[in-house]
Chain A
Amino acid sequence: MKLNGAEILIDCLQQEGVKHIFGYPGGATLHIYDALEAQEEIIHVLVRHEQGAAHAADGYARTSGKPGVVLVTSGPGITNAVTGIATANMDSIPMVVISGQVPSPLIGNDAFQEVDAVGITRSCVKHNFLVKDISEVAITVKKAFHIATTGRPGPVVIDIPKDVTINQMELEEYPETVKMRSYKPTTKASNRQIKKAAELIANSQRPILYSGGGSVIGNASKELREFTRLLGFPITQTLMGLGAYPGTDELSIGMLGMHGTYEANMAMHDSDCVVAIGARFDDRITGNLAKFCPSAKFIHIDIDPSQISKNVVADIPIVGQTKQVLQALIEELKDEKLADISKWWSQINTWREVDSLAYRKKSGVIKPQTVIEVLYEVTKGEAIVTSDVGQHQMWAAQYYLFDEPRRWINSGGLGTMGFGLPAAMGAKIAMPDKDVVCVTGEGSIQMMLQELSTMLQYKTPVKIVNLNNRYLGMVRQWQEFFYEKRYAMSYMDALPDFVKLAESYGHLGILVENEADLKPALVEALKQKDRTVFVDIITDPNENVFPMIPAGGAHCDMLLAGRDDMISKDETDFNAV
């Protein structure tokens, strides 16, 4: 049977088990859409902007663990998707993006809606392909899914010229596996390194586990719990790693880094053995590298060799999947006698008493932290929470304690405003039985508002919690601290009436101006199982995110809420251990 390239492409996607595609049609993809329309296995979600398609596929991938699939047209179709692709790339999210291209004879001709998609996306994908002939369609799709989902996952772009989708050939069997001599992601960790790491772990006096996105993406949550409990070590998690280890557990000392807890950052600073698990020592984690963990030895577990010794030189590098490395370490350490770390724990507990997430309520204004605490209460901590980027993102990360992985969906690496709403839609499509909440701000939400329309069409009821402080809060915070309160362009004037806006999109809107109305509003919103509800909450415009390590600071140089000066190490008994 002869099929055209578009039909072969759709057949390949079906065989890959794709159930949802997020996309937007255009001239170069008309044949592909024609082939999509002729089948029922794959549901296509028509977004309102291609960036929304990429974020939705990303949210879908982060919650389900399956690769997200995007279909966009040539030219502006693919350029609009670039921000979403780069977002997925920074956070190692498996994604396959299919972009239409002008017909092969027109490539390089400045044709209508032509851009060099492979060139434009090269630096923000794991890999990309230009399909030059219909005979390459199947193998390219196979390779794309293989590359996107193995090793350190990431987005892969397949650019398909229109003529390739029109030409016909006999349907060949879709390859079951693919071998590439140039791509063999390392998976098996070296035994020697495991033994060395186990020895260092067993003898450390002030150890800390520092777990990142690799524990979530590598599905290593179970092993991480077993490992941490076996050792009884304190564990801190990055913004990307939250939930792999339960945030409510007593061994958890919270998030670390720029807005991490006092105890997590102080413990990092004083540790003699940092075990990095699927984390990459990002600058938001380390602060000033010269002052980072001055007395620690580093064990660094990562699937991507290029992350090891990139920012911080690893004493014991272990290249491998987090899941398997942790299993091996558990095996190695389960009968081992560990050093007594009770003094270390009592030190950490004194840091905990500082209660660095405490904040003072003020009558007449709603504190943003309170909103997250109430949200946590009414969802019993079980919702999937997506966020945009800024202060609200940090508060959500600090005050919503995630006990399971893949519940906290945010753009950590690229920091993409506009991510939250489409990601929530993708998450809801992946997990229709779960409550999905998008914590956002009045700045971020306006970057992807149009997806409210998609959410009505595809009946993806999401709860939007808008922390409306009339400011681009994180920008305002930095201007307050470091630019002598010159608030350049951080005030948002002329905001829309979000309640009416939500209503005009066919959703429910609720305005909350008093703290007394907060809980009833969130309860009501969550009760509306079949409707998207936009809860616009007027919050304190002057609130800042604390603790904070200012740029260039060390982990022991934190600004804490309600204290004008930095807490320096001299004020605490750091010699106790």
Chain B
Amino acid sequence: MRHIISVVLENETGALSRVSGLFSQRGFNIESLTVAQTNDPSLSRMTIVSSGDDRVLEQIVKQLNKLIEVVKVSDLTSQDHIERDLMLVKISPTKKDNFDLKQLVDVFSCKIVDVTDKTYTIEISGKTKKINAFLDAFDPASILEVSRTGVTGISRGKKLI
């Protein structure tokens, strides 16, 4: 089962490698990992997408909590939450892509952010599934380059991590 784990940790050099090292050392899998400073510059927030059964998840959360620099850990998937993935994709439509690109961009509520004579660069954000669906709309040969942030997330309502 897929889990989105939010981790608040000290914004210190080496903290990221402690987390990624923990995952490889204990054989936990990482689908994506995103990290940046929070509104408190002394803290970073990391969102990790991993998969495993409940016991694996329990171990991941416990092992993360054991890291000295980790302040808080929360499994977002166990609660009502919002998740977003951001993608920048460079496309050069082929003949097989027989649709109006502008229309497709409207359907997915995304933006064309850069255009050249041969390419379009599109920015799209949303759930992972939506982004995958957007990519699936194109002939694979027309997709030149993809850069995704991986999932970041936050709980709904007044509840804080």
The contact string, 1 if C-beta is below 8 Å from chain B, for chain A 153-187, is: 00000000000000000000000000011110000
Q: Is B139 an interface residue (CB 8 A)?
A: no
Q: Which of A223-240 contact B (CB under 8 A)?
A: none
Pick the contact of B65: A119, A181, A305, A308 (CB < 8 A). A305
Q: Is B63 an interface residue (CB 8 A)?
A: yes
Q: Name B's interface SS.
A: helix
Q: Which of B33-75 contact A (CB under 8 A)?
A: 55, 58-59, 62-63, 65-66, 68-71
| Listed stretches A122-130, A253-261, A342-350; interface member | A122-130
Q: Which A residues are CB-close (under 8 A) to B18?
A: 122
Q: Are B59 and A306 in contact, CB atoms less than 8 angstroms apart?
A: yes
Pick the contact of A182: B17, B21, B63, B69 (CB < 8 A). B69
Which among B9, B59, B65, B68 has the greatest number of chain A C-beta atoms within 10 A? B68
Q: Are B55 and A309 in contact, CB atoms less than 8 angstroms apart?
A: yes
Pick the contact of A306: B17, B21, B63, B68 (CB < 8 A). B63
Q: Is A474 an interface residue (CB 8 A)?
A: no
Q: How far is the CA of A256 from the CA of B16 in the complex (A)?
A: 40
**8 extra A-B contacts, CB within 8 A, seeds A305-B65, A306-B65:** A122-B21, A123-B21, A182-B10, A182-B70, A304-B66, A306-B62, A309-B58, A310-B59
Known: A130-B14, A304-B66. A182 touches B71 (CB 8 A): yes
Q: Which B residues are CB-close (under 8 A) to A437?
A: none
The size of the chain A interface, using a CB distance under 8 A, is 19
Q: Are B9 and A182 in contact, CB atoms less than 8 angstroms apart?
A: yes
The contact string, 1 if C-beta is below 8 Å from chain B, for chain A 536-549, is: 00000000000000
Q: Is B25 an interface residue (CB 8 A)?
A: yes
Q: Which A residues are CB-close (under 8 A) to B9?
A: 182
Q: Which of A340-397 contact B (CB under 8 A)?
A: none
Could you list 17 A-B pairs, sorted by A, with CB under 8 Å?
A: A118-B14, A122-B17, A122-B18, A123-B21, A123-B25, A126-B68, A130-B13, A147-B68, A182-B9, A182-B10, A182-B70, A182-B71, A183-B68, A305-B62, A306-B63, A306-B66, A313-B55
Which among A118, A126, A183, A308 has the greatest number of chain B C-beta atoms within 10 A? A183
Q: Which B residues are CB-close (under 8 A) to A118?
A: 14
Q: Which B residues are CB-close (under 8 A) to A181?
A: 71
Q: How far is the CA of A309 from the CA of B55 in the complex (A)?
A: 8
Q: Which A residues are CB-close (under 8 A) to B63?
A: 306
Q: How far is the CA of A304 from the CA of B59 in the complex (A)?
A: 12
- For the complex formed, measure the closest distance between the CB of B11 and the CB atoms of chain A, giving whole angstroms: 11
The contact string, 1 if C-beta is below 8 Å from chain B, for chain A 296-315, is: 00000000111011100100
- For the complex formed, measure the closest distance between the CB of B154 and the CB atoms of chain A, giving whole angstroms: 21
Known: A305-B62, A306-B59, A310-B59. A180 touches B68 (CB 8 A): yes
The contact string, 1 if C-beta is below 8 Å from chain B, for chain A 102-130, is: 00000000000000001100110011001
Q: Which A residues are CB-close (under 8 A) to B17?
A: 119, 122
Which residue of chain A has the shortest Cβ distance to B18 in the bound complex? A122
Pair count A-B, CB < 8 A: 36
Q: Which A residues are CB-close (under 8 A) to B69?
A: 182
Ranked 6 nearest A-B pairs via Cβ: A306-B62, A127-B68, A182-B71, A123-B25, A183-B68, A305-B62
Q: How far is the CA of A126 from the CA of B66 in the complex (A)?
A: 9
Binding site for B on A (CB under 8 A): 118-119, 122-123, 126-127, 130, 147, 180-183, 304-306, 308-310, 313
Q: Which A residues are CB-close (under 8 A) to B13?
A: 130
Q: How far is the CA of A222 from the CA of B32 in the complex (A)?
A: 49
- For the complex formed, measure the closest distance between the CB of A375 and the CB atoms of chain B, giving whole angstroms: 39
Which residue of chain A has the shortest Cβ distance to B22 in the bound complex? A123
- For the complex formed, measure the closest distance between the CB of B45 and the CB atoms of chain A, giving whole angstroms: 13
Q: Which A residues are CB-close (under 8 A) to B71?
A: 181-182
Which residue of chain B has the shortest Cβ distance to A310 in the bound complex? B59
Q: How far is the CA of A309 from the CA of B60 in the complex (A)?
A: 12
Which among B13, B18, B58, B66 has the greatest number of chain A C-beta atoms within 10 A? B66
Which among A119, A306, A309 has the greatest number of chain B C-beta atoms within 10 A? A306
Which residue of chain A has the shortest Cβ distance to B58 in the bound complex? A309
Which residue of chain B has the shortest Cβ distance to A123 in the bound complex? B25
Which residue of chain B has the shortest Cβ distance to A118 in the bound complex? B14
Q: How far is the CA of A119 from the CA of B17 in the complex (A)?
A: 9
Q: How far is the CA of A279 from the CA of B65 in the complex (A)?
A: 20
Q: Which B residues are CB-close (under 8 A) to A183?
A: 68
Which residue of chain A has the shortest Cβ distance to B59 in the bound complex? A310
Q: How far is the CA of A296 from the CA of B59 in the complex (A)?
A: 22
Q: Which A residues are CB-close (under 8 A) to B58?
A: 309
Which residue of chain B has the shortest Cβ distance to A151 in the bound complex? B66
Which residue of chain A has the shortest Cβ distance to B71 in the bound complex? A182
- For the complex formed, measure the closest distance between the CB of A438 and the CB atoms of chain B, giving whole angstroms: 32
- For the complex formed, measure the closest distance between the CB of A168 and the CB atoms of chain B, giving whole angstroms: 25
Q: Which B residues are CB-close (under 8 A) to A308?
A: 62
Which residue of chain B has the shortest Cβ distance to A124 in the bound complex? B25
- For the complex formed, measure the closest distance between the CB of A265 and the CB atoms of chain B, giving whole angstroms: 26
The contact string, 1 if C-beta is below 8 Å from chain A, for chain B 88-100, is: 0000000000000
Q: Which of B15-33 contact A (CB under 8 A)?
A: 17-18, 21, 25
Q: How far is the CA of A313 from the CA of B59 in the complex (A)?
A: 12
